[in-house]
């Protein structure tokens, strides 16, 4: 009886954890010295596809990606699975494309430090992890707290 209760609790905890991960609100962040405050979904897509390689102020874009949220980010922003996004980058690099592929981080603190130290960096992370060491961008004028924020 006791074992069954523990099992049920474990399952509930697992479901809660998974649903929290699935509902993670993704914040798009840049270096604090980046003058940009807003980014369009189109520009975000073009940057992560390697089609746009410079910000409007002429700074080279340095892409970073946070591993735990890559799947949902690529699905929402690029409309691609992780595998398709990787294949896209392989084609781009091997055909001489000028964009540099994203640097992948498993640890959110390292991800933040990368953004903090790279003037042209752009990355994404869970909203709860985004602190004042990075600048959170609005997307198409919508802040992460807005109801219709596109990366909820």
Partner 1 sequence: MNKGLNNRIAANCWAKRIFVFLLAMIALGLLAEPGYAEQSKLEVYGFFDMEAEVSNKDAAGKIWTFDQHHLNIITIYPLDNKFRVFAEVAWEHGPFYSPSEMIGNIYLARAYLEYKYSDAFQLRMGTFLTPFGIYNERHDATPTFISTFVPQSVYGEHELSFMGKGRLFAKHGTGVQVLGTLSANKWEGKYQLYLSNGRGPSPTERDNNANKGIGGRLIISLPIETLRLGASYYTDRNGDANNARQNALGFDSEFDYEDIHLETEVLLASLERLDISGAPSGDFRKISGYYLLGAYTFFDKLTPFARYEWIGDNIDKDGHTHNATTFGINYSITPSVKLKNEIQFRSEGETVNSYQFYVASIAVAF
Residues in the site for partner 1, rule: CB under 8 A? 42, 46, 51-54, 58, 60, 62, 81-84, 86-87, 90-91, 93-96, 98, 100, 103, 113-114, 116-118
| Closer residue to partner 1 (CB): 42 or 104 | 42
Token pair of 142 as six digits: 């919508």
Nearest-approach distance from CB 46 to partner 1, in angstroms: 7
Nearest-approach distance from CB 44 to partner 1, in angstroms: 14
Nearest-approach distance from CB 12 to partner 1, in angstroms: 30
Query: In this structure, which long-range contacts are made by residues 9-13, counting pairs with CB atoms below 8 Å and at least 24 apart in sequence?
Result: none
Nearest-approach distance from CB 103 to partner 1, in angstroms: 7
| Closer residue to partner 1 (CB): 32 or 91 | 91
77 neighbors 88 (Cβ within 8 angstroms): no
| Closer residue to partner 1 (CB): 25 or 150 | 150
Q: How far is CA 88 from CA 7, 48, 49, 77, 95, in A?
A: 42, 10, 8, 14, 11
């Amino acid at each position: 009886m006791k074992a069954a209760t523990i099992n049920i609790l474990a399952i509930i905890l697992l479901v809660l954890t998974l649903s929290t991960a699935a509902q993670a609100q993704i914040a798009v962040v840049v270096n604090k010295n980046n003058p940009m405050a807003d980014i369009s979904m189109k520009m975000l897509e073009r940057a992560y596809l390697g089609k746009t390689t410079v910000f409007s102020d002429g700074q080279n874009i340095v892409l970073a990606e946070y591993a735990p949220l890559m799947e949902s980010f690529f699905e929402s922003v690029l409309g691609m699975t992780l595998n398709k996004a990787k294949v896209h980058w392989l084609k781009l690099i091997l055909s001489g494309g000028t964009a540099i592929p994203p640097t992948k981080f498993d640890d959110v603190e390292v991800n933040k430090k990368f953004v903090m130290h790279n003037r042209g960096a752009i990355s994404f992370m869970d909203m709860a992890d985004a602190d004042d060491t990075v600048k959170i961008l609005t997307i198409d004028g919508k802040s992460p707290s807005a109801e219709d924020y596109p990366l909820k």
